[in-house]
């Protein structure tokens, strides 16, 4: 009985699992279809966005770049060559002691102006003065003795050898006195020329030896300015040409002088020629050792085309500028357009640079902001706050 009741229930179990499998398959299919639908909607939205961006990009017109402008000017420049130089004293020495001794007197103040022959320093000469008194007495006695010997020799009362001995003793006594006078004179140091003396390096009572420095003495009116120019400058350089000197210490001042010396040889290592100008310095502000900028001015003037140096785009493959001309933007509307043009540059003066080829006078170039431009770009010129370029700018420390 039991075995017959169980068999039908076991046989009916596989039939009940078939609807469950069909239901699971249905859910999977619905999920996959839903996923494909979501992906399709996202792809469609993205495609619409990309299409809209492409349409906007094709119709987009970039805004004009704001720049300042500058006119290409025809000006007259006096031909000049610039160089870096050093200021030298016409005469300059470091005073020193020739004899040893104790400093007894100092006759100058630090940084004072002294005259030629002025006593600057005296050493102790007590011992030499005492010796000189004895030497002068010996010299006087030898002179008297020589006079008596000569008188007796004329009378035939002595020999020739006695006369010669007296003469030798007289010469020796006078030489000894002269030597002592020279030693005393050397212990008094005088200014060899007019000039400005530096900081003294000795004090009263100090024992100094031969060669000990006392102070520096420099003649500062006029001064020399020594500089180098390339050998090509020999074509125009002449003795007597005018020069202008500027120093960073006094940016608002200019000193004028003239070219006085051109070295008769070219330096082999650099192919430069050493030159020297003489510059009046009545106020004494130009000091030996100062760094200076010098311009050697040639005779006559020449016409040049000049633009501000800030308008030039410097590059290894060639320098260029952007010329502002009338044109049209990408939408076809009238606008100012920048055209790139390569130029050759020449001499530079202050904020300006000479253009030897590539531009003509009267054209307009982009100045400040030119680095933002590309060929054919539209520009908006705004010169309201543009700094004015100068041929001789004077920097102001603010």
> Residue 92's pLDDT is what?
80
pLDDT digits (tens, 9 = 90+) for 224-233: 898 888 888 7
> Residue 6's pLDDT is what?
45
> Residue 17's pLDDT is what?
53
> Residue 342's pLDDT is what?
92
> Residue 3's pLDDT is what?
45
HEC profile for the chain?
A: CHHHHHHHHHHHHHHHHHHHHHHHHHHHHHHHHHHHHHHHHHHHHHHHHHHHHHHHHHHCCCCCEEECEEECEEEEEEEEEEEEEEEEEEEEEEEECCCCEEEEEECCCCCCEECCCCEEEEECCHHHHHHHHHHHHHHHHHHHHHHHHHHHHHCCCCCHHHHHHHHHHHHHHHHHHHHHHHHHHHCEEECCCCEEECCCCCCCCCEECCCCEEEEEEEEEEEEEEEEEEHHHHHCCCCCCEEEEEECCEEEEEEEEEEEEEEEEECCCCCEEEEEEEECCCCCCCCCCCEEEEEEEEEEEEEEEEEEHHHCECCCCCCEEEEEEEEECCCCCEEEEEEEEECEEEEEECCEEEEEECCCCCCEEECCCHHHCCCCCEEEECCCCCCCCCCCCCCCCC
> Residue 393's pLDDT is what?
62
Which regions in the chain score pLDDT beneath 70? 1-23, 55-61, 300, 330-331, 390-398
Cis before 222? omega within 30: yes
């Amino acid at each position: 009985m039991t075995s017959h009741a169980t068999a039908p229930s076991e046989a009916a179990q596989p039939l009940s699992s078939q609807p469950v499998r069909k239901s699971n398959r249905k859910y999977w299919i619905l999920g996959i279809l839903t996923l494909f639908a979501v992906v399709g909607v996202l792809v469609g939205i993205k495609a619409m966005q990309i299409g809209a961006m492409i349409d906007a990009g094709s119709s987009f017109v970039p805004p004009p770049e704001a720049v300042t402008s500058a006119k290409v000017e025809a000006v007259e420049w006096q031909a000049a060559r610039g160089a870096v130089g050093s200021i030298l004293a016409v005469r300059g020495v470091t005073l020193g002691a020739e004899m040893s001794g104790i400093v007894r007197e100092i006759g100058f103040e630090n940084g004072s102006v002294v005259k030629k022959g002025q006593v600057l320093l005296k050493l102790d000469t007590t011992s030499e003065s005492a010796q000189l008194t004895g030497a002068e007495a010996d010299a006087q006695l030898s002179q008297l003795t020589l006079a008596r010997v000569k008188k007796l020799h004329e009378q035939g009362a002595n020999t020739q050898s006695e006369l010669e001995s007296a003469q030798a003793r007289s010469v020796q006594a006078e030489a000894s006195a002269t030597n002592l006078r020279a030693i005393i004179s050397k212990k008094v140091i005088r200014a060899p020329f007019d000039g400005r003396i530096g900081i003294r390096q000795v004090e009263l009572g100090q024992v100094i030896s031969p060669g000990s420095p006392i102070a520096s003495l420099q003649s500062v009116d006029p001064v020399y300015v020594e500089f180098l120019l390339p050998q090509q400058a020999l074509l125009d350089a002449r003795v007597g040409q005018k020069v202008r000197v500027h120093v960073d210490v006094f940016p608002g001042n200019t000193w004028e002088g003239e070219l006085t010396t051109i070295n008769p040889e070219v330096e082999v290592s650099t192919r430069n020629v050493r030159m020297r100008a003489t510059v009046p310095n009545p106020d004494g502000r130009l000091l030996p050792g100062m760094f200076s900028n010098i311009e050697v001015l040639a005779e006559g003037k020449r016409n040049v085309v000049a633009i501000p140096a800030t308008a030039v785009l410097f590059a290894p493959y060639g320098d260029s500028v952007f010329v502002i001309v009338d044109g049209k933007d990408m939408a076809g509307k009238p606008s100012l357009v920048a055209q790139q043009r390569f130029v050759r540059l020449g001499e530079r003066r202050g904020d300006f640079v000479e253009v030897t080829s590539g531009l003509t006078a009267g054209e307009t170039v982009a100045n400040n902001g030119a680095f933002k431009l590309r060929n054919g770009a539209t520009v908006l010129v705004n010169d309201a706050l543009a700094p004015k370029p100068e041929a001789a700018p004077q920097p102001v420390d603010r």
